[in-house]
């Protein structure tokens, strides 16, 4: 039997990546080029040639699944015991080291690794002890800041020297230091510590570092583009002795900067090591020629990349299909019709995916697919109607329209906080059971007694009065306005508005999208029946379902048919991202588009809507700038799509020469638009001249309104910015 049989199935470049064993190697593995096979085969090759013993090889991945698959494949190929192989995630490998030398970090060897919930509880305790307002400084925000330092490889003493953009009024370094002290007292570490503390050990104990450097003759790294700075420091420490490090990744698929990933690690790999060998895997085994050409043409517009061009032997396949629709509902309808056509052609629903940029987009697709009876799943997140804030809001709507809904009342009884705890609810429960009445009726009875304290009775009384008042409005105003009133007067919207946590803005956006959803129903009862069908739908459907996924969650997945919905400027690339980091974010958004396109194996459908009803407001859009960057020869669309001056793609020169504000282009005809009697200004929440407040830029005045966006001159900046409606408040 051929001893190197495992090389037979590899192409020339893959073989080169496997057989180049000496010195640092960077394998730029494009989407669908077989990177997992290369990594596994390289590990097999090292063991088979007896260049290292199992414990002298370190292989790190980002998921346990990837690590287990690598172990299984190596075992199948070589039929050897792999128990002593160092194959695992970054965190599991770091944990091994930390367990062995825990005392150097003032921890016992049996220390506990705490999860996010425990981290938040610990931070809350610290904030309370420091008399810091938890509403102004939520524990989740403090945790994010601490994690930012850990991702950079910085202990508290090093964090003091680092530049970090956060609001004045809080000493984050002090809180970070206190947090680490509390962890030591508890004999605990968090996930960030599993890399940070080994780095600390290596920095302070050269003998320990030397022993690991000598041990690991070969190091293999998967998904290198997703590493943070701390992980990169850890890898460079361990590889310094032998320099036989092979990192496999794709700079064009670096899309997780918000999670700490730093694309500079892969971009500067050649600067970090001497005599680096760069091997490009460009032959794709997943997608058609047109899909690859479209993706390659798009990503070439990025400046910060190492460069490669995907290709396939097969020249067959359909062009990427580009469609534009009147609005979001029209988009959802037509995409669902195409899905029905695919289903009739015996295409499995599992092989169909709808990829979106923002989570609020799921709602229209969910409603439409349910209506036509096509099962679906939301990957990487909750279905729209399953999200906490949506369930809470629906509970409010139910209790107003259905008196006997005890579950709904229980859910919102103390949400937002009314001083009504579990003990109070138990008393009401007992009365309801004994008298065989609803919780709402029991609540009305209990306030007539002295069984509860005065504060509790007054809170319940006000809550009941609110419910009764809302009930009187059912036949007087439309269900949409009533829903807004309920959420405002209950204090529920205000609760999230005042919440400073990272997830709060997203929850508010979803509530606005819920209000938008009500427009599709003639009354509230019809809507609530629809919700019941949605929930029942999930229980009854089998495994073959259409996949609805955000593009961030789609990385690593593949489908025969991919629908890329919502390629509207401001939605994709996302306006908030552009405002925060400018061109750096633009390039990451373009990488995200590249990831989206390369998920498709046979067919890719991209769509744009001229307008969208987002958070209660019509937003008039231009097509995403990414559409103009797609090679026309690989695109199938109406010829007019690229020629309609009023509503579609602007020319390449204008895009490349825009100034600092990437949306300035939208306002090139602002004078004529805002003076026009047919302007859409009347449909917007704010008007020209209104004074507003923006969390980042402060107070300002609206100068112009065009295509759902506001040009505002801000007092503090003495300059104009262009922002979306949901980021400003009236004053």
**What residues are labeled active site?**
35-36, 222-223, 253, 599
| CB contact burial 278-304 (16+ within 10 A = b; e otherwise) | ebbbbbbebbbbbbbbbbbbbbbbbee
8 Å CB contact between 249 and 241: no
Which of 60, 41, 59 has its CA nearest to residue 49? 41
Specify the pairing of strand 112-113 against strand 188-189: parallel
Helices marked H in 49-192 — which ranges? 64-78, 90-100, 116-129, 139-151, 156-159, 172-185
d(CA 206, CA 204): 6
Residue with tokens 């009384």: 461
What is the dihedral angle through the alpha carbons of 407, 413, 415, 420, rounded to the nearest 10 degrees?
Answer: -140
Q: Which helix (H) or strand (E) holds 322?
A: strand 320-327
Quick count: other Cβ atoms within 10 Å of Cβ 725?
19
**Measured CA distances, 416 to 92, 181, 264, 594 (Å):** 40, 34, 44, 42
d(CA 20, CA 243): 13
Contacts of 55 (CB under 8 A, 6+ apart): 84, 85, 86, 215
Residue with tokens 């797609």: 630
Give the start-end residues of each E strand in 337-493: 352-356, 376-379
8 Å CB contact between 713 and 667: no
d(CA 567, CA 641): 14
Structure token digits, residue 158: 């090093």
Which of 335, 338, 324, 327 has its CA nearest to residue 640? 324
Structure token digits, residue 415: 């949400």
d(CA 651, CA 38): 42
Which of 276, 216, 278 has its CA nearest to residue 86? 216
d(CA 202, CA 238): 9
Q: Is the dihedral of CA 95, 552, 350, 538 positive or negative?
A: positive
Contacts of 680 (CB under 8 A, 6+ apart): 618, 620, 705, 708
């Amino acid at each position: 039997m051929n001893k190197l049989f495992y090389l037979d199935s590899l192409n020339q470049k893959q073989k080169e990546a496997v057989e180049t064993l000496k010195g640092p190697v960077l394998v730029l593995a494009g989407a669908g080029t077989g990177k997992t096979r290369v990594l596994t085969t390289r590990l097999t090759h090292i063991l088979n040639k007896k260049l290292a013993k199992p414990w002298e090889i370190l292989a790190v991945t980002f998921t346990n699944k990837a690590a287990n698959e690598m172990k299984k494949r190596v075992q199948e190929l070589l039929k050897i015991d792999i128990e002593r192989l160092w194959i695992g995630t970054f965190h599991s490998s770091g944990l091994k080291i930390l367990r062995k030398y825990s005392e150097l970090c003032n921890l016992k060897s049996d220390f506990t690794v705490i999860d996010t919930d425990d981290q938040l509880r610990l931070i809350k305790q610290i904030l309370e002890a420091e008399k810091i307002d938890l509403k102004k400084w939520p524990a989740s925000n403090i945790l994010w800041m601490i994690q930012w330092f850990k991702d950079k490889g910085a202990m508290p003493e090093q964090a003091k020297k680092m530049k970090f953009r956060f609001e004045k009024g809080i000493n984050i370094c002090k809180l970070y230091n206190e947090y680490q002290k509390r962890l030591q007292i508890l004999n605990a570490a968090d996930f960030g510590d599993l890399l940070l503390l080994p780095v600390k050990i290596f920095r302070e104990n050269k003998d320990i570092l030397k022993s690991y450097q000598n041990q690991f003759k070969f190091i293999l790294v998967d998904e290198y583009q997703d590493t943070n700075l701390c992980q990169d420091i850890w890898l460079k420490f361990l590889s310094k002795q032998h320099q036989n490090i092979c990192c496999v990744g794709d700079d064009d698929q670096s899309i997780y900067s918000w999670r700490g990933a730093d694309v500079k690690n892969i971009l500067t790999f050649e600067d970090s090591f001497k005599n680096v060998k760069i091997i490009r895997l460009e032959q794709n085994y997943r997608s058609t020629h047109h899909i690859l050409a479209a993706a390659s043409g798009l990503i070439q517009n990025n400046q910060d990349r190492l460069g490669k061009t995907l290709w396939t032997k097969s020249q067959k396949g359909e062009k990427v299909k580009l469609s534009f629709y009147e609005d979001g509902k029209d988009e959802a309808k037509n995409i669902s019709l195409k899905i029905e056509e695919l289903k009739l052609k015996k295409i499995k629903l599992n092989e169909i995916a709808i990829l979106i940029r923002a989570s609020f987009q799921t709602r229209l697709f969910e409603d439409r697919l349910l209506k036509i009876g096509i099962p679906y799943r939301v990957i990487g997140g909750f279905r729209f109607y399953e999200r906490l804030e949506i369930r809470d809001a629906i509970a409010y709507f139910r209790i107003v329209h259905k008196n006997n809904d005890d579950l709904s009342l229980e859910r919102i009884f103390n949400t937002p906080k009314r001083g009504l705890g579990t003990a109070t609810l138990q008393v009401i429960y007992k009365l309801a059971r004994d008298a065989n009445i609803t919780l709402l009726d029991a609540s009305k009875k209990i306030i007539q007694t002295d069984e509860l304290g005065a504060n509790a009775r007054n809170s319940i009384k006000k809550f009941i009065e609110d419910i009764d008042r809302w009930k009187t409005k059912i036949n007087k105003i439309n269900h949409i306005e009533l829903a807004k009133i309920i959420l405002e007067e209950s204090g529920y919207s205000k609760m999230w508005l005042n919440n400073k946590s990272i997830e709060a803005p997203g929850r508010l956006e979803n509530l606005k999208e819920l209000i938008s959803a009500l427009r599709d129903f003639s009354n509230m009862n019809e809507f609530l029946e629809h919700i019941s069908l949605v929930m029942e739908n999930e229980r009854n459907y089998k495994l073959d379902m259409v996949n609805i996924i955000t593009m961030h969650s789609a990385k690593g997945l593949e489908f025969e048919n991919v629908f890329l919905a919502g390629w509207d400027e401001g939605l994709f690339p996302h306006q908030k991202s552009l405002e925060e980091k400018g061109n750096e974010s633009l390039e990451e958004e373009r990488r995200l588009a590249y990831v989206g396109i390369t998920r498709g194996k046979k067919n890719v459908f991209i769509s744009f809507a001229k307008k969208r009803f987002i958070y209660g407001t019509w937003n008039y859009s231009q097509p995403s700038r990414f559409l103009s960057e797609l090679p026309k020869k690989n695109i199938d669309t109406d010829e007019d799509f690229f020629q309609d001056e009023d509503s579609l793609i602007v020319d390449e020169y204008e895009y490349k020469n825009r100034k600092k504000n990437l949306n300035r282009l939208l306002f090139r005809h602002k004078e004529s638009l805002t003076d026009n009697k047919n302007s859409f200004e009347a449909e917007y929440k704010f008007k020209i001249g209104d004074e507003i407040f923006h969390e980042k830029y402060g107070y300002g005045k609206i100068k112009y309104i065009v295509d759902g966006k506001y040009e505002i001159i801000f007092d503090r900046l003495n300059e104009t910015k262009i922002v979306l409606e949901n980021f400003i408040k009236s004053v």
